[in-house]
């Protein structure tokens, strides 16, 4: 039987009607829905024909369905990075910049079309970073910031083996095109259209008039050195990933074709930008 993984966010009552509609559509389309331990406990899922409770999150599925906001979508994209499994996301968050559709756009056949793979697939790049003893793939961004209550961080950054500058700041953000409209944009960093090969670097509260955001070529690795007396925190897509001690460094690299995001036919980055951020400005 064809299989699909399901991820949802923590507001169970908000997604319950959509989850019921998804289960009906999956039964109609002959697709087995797989819920891991967390999702099983959250929704009190019981195994039945076409539904697998306490399932391992496996790579041999046709699709990952997300009912949630950008945090949940990012979790799904990170989990299936490099596998080719597309993520079809219904926005139950605030902005939902990565979502495929809004709940009111599903219609009566939205889940049926998703399960039939009646959508386009956009390939998303990622950033690799080694932190906290492991290698992480960031779909949105990698951020480095001073610990709460500690002094301003002193960070040096270099590209292709050459130091570019040193900045006293609260931290810095390295963002993919998909993540350029998030933390990076809040820092005054550049918005990169989806399809641009490269990544952005912006600074959090820099104590310098010379610190400027920059766009980095895709094949140039970025090295960040902690010249502070204290450790600084490292987060990947908003999730704590470890820390960078005094005198330590980390390197981030651009990864092509890491994530697969389902899109409605005819959708575009610029329409998404207008619709999502135009609403916030209204």
Facing residues of 39 across strands?
none
Catalytic positions, please?
A: 70
**DSSP label of 8:** E
**DSSP label of 269:** H
Distance CA 72, CA 93 (A): 9
Distance CA 259, CA 69 (A): 17
The DSSP H or E segment spanning 206 is: none
Distance CA 237, CA 138 (A): 6
3-state secondary structure of 132: coil
* Nearest partner of 228 among 144, 133, 129, judged by Cα: 144
C-alpha to C-alpha distances, 262 to 58, 119, 121, 259, nearest whole angstrom: 19, 6, 5, 10
C-alpha to C-alpha distances, 59 to 130, 169, 202, nearest whole angstrom: 23, 41, 34
- How many H-runs (helices) and E-runs (strands) does the chain carry? 6, 17
């Amino acid at each position: 039987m064809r299989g699909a993984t399901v991820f949802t966010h923590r507001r169970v009552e908000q997604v319950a009607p959509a989850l019921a509609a998804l289960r009906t559509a999956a039964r109609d389309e002959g697709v087995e829905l797989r819920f891991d331990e967390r999702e099983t406990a959250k929704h009190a899922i019981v195994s039945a024909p076409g539904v697998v409770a306490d399932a391992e999150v496996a790579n041999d599925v046709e699709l990952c369905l997300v009912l949630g906001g950008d945090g949940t979508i990012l979790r799904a994209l990170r989990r299936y990075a490099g596998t080719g499994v597309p993520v079809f996301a219904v926005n139950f968050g605030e902005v939902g910049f990565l979502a495929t559709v809004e709940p009111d756009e599903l219609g009566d056949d939205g889940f049926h079309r998703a399960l039939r793979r009646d959508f386009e697939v956009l390939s998303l790049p990622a950033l690799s970073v080694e932190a906290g003893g492991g290698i992480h793939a960031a779909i949105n961004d990698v951020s480095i910031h001073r610990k709460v209550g500690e002094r301003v961080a002193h960070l040096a950054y270099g590209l292709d083996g050459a130091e570019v500058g040193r900045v006293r700041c609260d931290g810095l953000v390295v963002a993919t095109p998909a993540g350029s409209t998030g933390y990076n944009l809040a820092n005054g960093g550049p918005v990169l259209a989806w399809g641009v090969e490269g990544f952005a670097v912006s600074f959090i509260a820099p104590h310098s008039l010379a610190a400027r955001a920059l766009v980095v070529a895709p094949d140039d690795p970025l090295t960040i050195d902690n010249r502070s007396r204290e450790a600084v925190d490292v987060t990947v897509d908003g999730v704590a990933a470890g820390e960078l001690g005094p005198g330590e460094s980390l390197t981030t690299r651009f990864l092509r074709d890491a994530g697969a995001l389902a899109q409605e036919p005819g959708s575009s980055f610029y329409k998404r930008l207008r619709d999502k951020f135009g609403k916030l400005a209204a």
